[in-house]
Chain A
Amino acid sequence: MLEKALSGSKTYWAWIFALLVLIGIGAGFYLYQLNEGLVVTGLNRDVSWGLYIAQFTFLVGVAASAVMVVLPYYLHDYKAFGKLTLLGEFLAIPACIMCMLFIFVDMGRPDRIVYVFMHPSPNSVMFWDTLVLSGYLGLNAVIGWTMLNAERKDTAPPRWVKPLIYLSIPWAVSIHTVTAFLYQGLPGRGFWMTAIMAPRFLASAFAAGPSFLILMVLLVRKFTKFDPGNAALRKLGQIVTYAMFVSVFFFLMEVFTVYYSNIPEHKHHFWFLFVGGPLYLKGAMWLFVALAVIGLAIMVNPATRNNITTLAVGAGCIFTASWLEKGLGLVIGGFTPNPLGEYTTYTPTFPEIAIAVMVWCIGFLILTVLYKVATAVKEEKALS
């Protein structure tokens, strides 16, 4: 089936070429980082995780969000999502791969990665995260590929995938829960020490992931004859609306707890992110607030949610807002101030950003190929 990714329009090849160029540039910077060490990044003794781990955290959410189309379709038999589930599952695959790549580029000694498997340490949350993430990648790859094959051959999917699909639902929740445990179980990090970290992660993931899917569906529809239908898009819009409300609600609960209790160790992180930090970070955080408000205003109004153009704008706002909060603020804010109450500024360097862009582009490349194959199969079927 993969051969279907080898024929495409000029735009298709231009897009692939652009991705490859960015991957090439990033790969050059990665070699540089490999040679010199993480000194080429903005990371430091106090902010020891940054852009890479933040992208990882955000993308685990995108991967987990596939459950938002799988669950209504398989558990509630919501027919309108029939054509969409495959796109959801195929989105989870590159998201998982990007997660793994972000962990990899963040390692000080990537040559020793096998030690994680040679010396399994069940007391480390990272061990469990590796397990659940690879399991989730495997599940979605098997399910997606089998379903697509069945569709192409016009046969019913084999019976054994059903249990796998059901398994993938709690599994999706587990990957983001375990990822939250990486943070919320650490003593002395006031910003992360909150029991609603995992629910918060899930809520923002279920807002950001389906938002991204809306945008992807619109692109797919523009470039191919495959169309999952406006009803599916509008339903996704509803899901995004609910999830974003819950996400903002959870965020406000944090704000209340921190400010009403008035505990300095917890307040300082918020102060740094919104008031005291470097301009780029402050800007990003206020932009997050603005985009969340605008996105919600668009989504909550049925007229603008059901209009596909404004729906796309709303989805874009919410996806970006979630990225700013989780893909930037969460990690940096948690590390500043450091355990001694000192403020060290972290600013991602150019090589660091180029490497992060490389990983995103690898993800987009895989996503493009998978979507190309899927839509080609679906188009073929529609013709015959």
Chain B
Amino acid sequence: MDRGKRNFLKIAGLTGVGAYVGLKGVQAIGNKGTKAKKKLALVIDTRKCKGDCPDCITACHREHNVAERHNPNFKGPGPKAAQGIKWIWVSTFAGAFHEQIHERTGKRKEPVVVLCNHCDDPPCTRVCPTGATWKRKEDGIVTIDMHRCIGCRFCMAACPYGSRSFNFSDPRRSLKAVKPGFPTRTTGVVEKCNFCVERLGEGLLPACVTACTKKAMHFGDLNDKNSPASKALMGVHSITRKPILGTGPEVYYVL
């Protein structure tokens, strides 16, 4: 074998090894923190929930001091509704599932409640430059440290579900009443649904699940066959939002 050929093979070999190592590295980064012990999930039964009552939203937003709309009485720069905060809200069926509807979807066009999906492989945490948002190993909840967030809003661009809100102004100005026991946020940080991590710690269910008078929401650990969430998914047809993106949403919709 002449020298040129040997060198070529060497370079080709090295490139192969390099590419493999690089690929593994990228995969390792992509898959960081996906193995959760518990797999907390929320199952929403759209046969019962028609998205026509505000109970879960009111309960959640009161529980977490969410500044939904900016106080119109406040004298200062005019905040728009589009700058408000939402943790859980109602979307049209087409908005939540636009790749899964067709002309005759019929009664399935009823609105649905949407919230952060606490994805298995969340793109929002992958992009955060400060590690201010991450997926908890113990239960899979995607959480934010409001004291570390720098407000760059990269996570908002990365979330393919529009689940995150930004505090464009001081949220305390817009709250009619502040519920003690849950911290209010400051201007300039991002927030979203936290699966009621503070209530779970006290052995309570998420506020939305408790508030739902139609008993349309079921919450629990999908790794536990007997949890309400697992049971609610048994033997029914359920879907998640944009499964094609590989994010692995943990909010399920029973049709």
Contacts and interface: CB of A to CB of B under 8 A. Distances in A.
A127 interface: yes
B129 A121 contact: yes
B40 to A, nearest CB: 22
B129 A339 contact: no
Nearest to B241: A339
A18 B209 CA distance: 60
Given A37-B187, A338-B162, A339-B159, A188 B245 contact: yes
A45 B166 contact: yes
Interface size of B as a range:
35 or more
A339 B97 CA distance: 10
A109 B169 contact: no
Contacts of B160: 186-189, 339
A224 interface: no
Contacts of B77: 36, 39-40
Interface stretch (A112-120, A246-254, A280-288, A312-320): A112-120
Given A37-B188, A115-B150, A339-B159, A48 B94 contact: no
A72 B162 CA distance: 46
B151 interface: yes
A45 B82 contact: yes
Contacts of B80: 44
A341 interface: yes
A109 B82 contact: no
B72 to A, nearest CB: 13
Nearest to A130: B129
A341 B150 contact: no
Contacts of B32: 123
B96 A116 contact: no
A49 B129 contact: no
Contacts of B96: 340
Nearest to A122: B29
A221 B84 CA distance: 52
29 contacts: A36-B169, A38-B168, A38-B169, A43-B168, A44-B168, A45-B85, A45-B166, A46-B162, A108-B150, A108-B151, A108-B153, A108-B166, A108-B190, A112-B150, A121-B131, A123-B32, A123-B126, A123-B127, A124-B126, A124-B154, A186-B123, A186-B157, A186-B160, A187-B123, A187-B245, A265-B99, A339-B160, A339-B161, A341-B98
Given A44-B82, A188-B160, 11 more contacts: A37-B169, A38-B166, A45-B82, A45-B86, A45-B166, A107-B151, A123-B29, A124-B129, A265-B98, A340-B95, A341-B94
Interface of A: 36-40, 43-46, 48-49, 103, 106-110, 112-113, 115-116, 118-119, 121-127, 130, 182-183, 186-189, 264-265, 335, 338-342, 344
Interface of B: 29, 32, 70, 76-77, 79-80, 82-86, 91-92, 94-96, 98-99, 114, 123, 126-132, 148-154, 156-162, 165-170, 186-190, 242, 245-247
Q: Top 9 A-B pairs ranked by shortest CB distance?
A: A108-B151, A188-B160, A108-B188, A44-B82, A340-B95, A39-B169, A126-B129, A37-B187, A39-B168
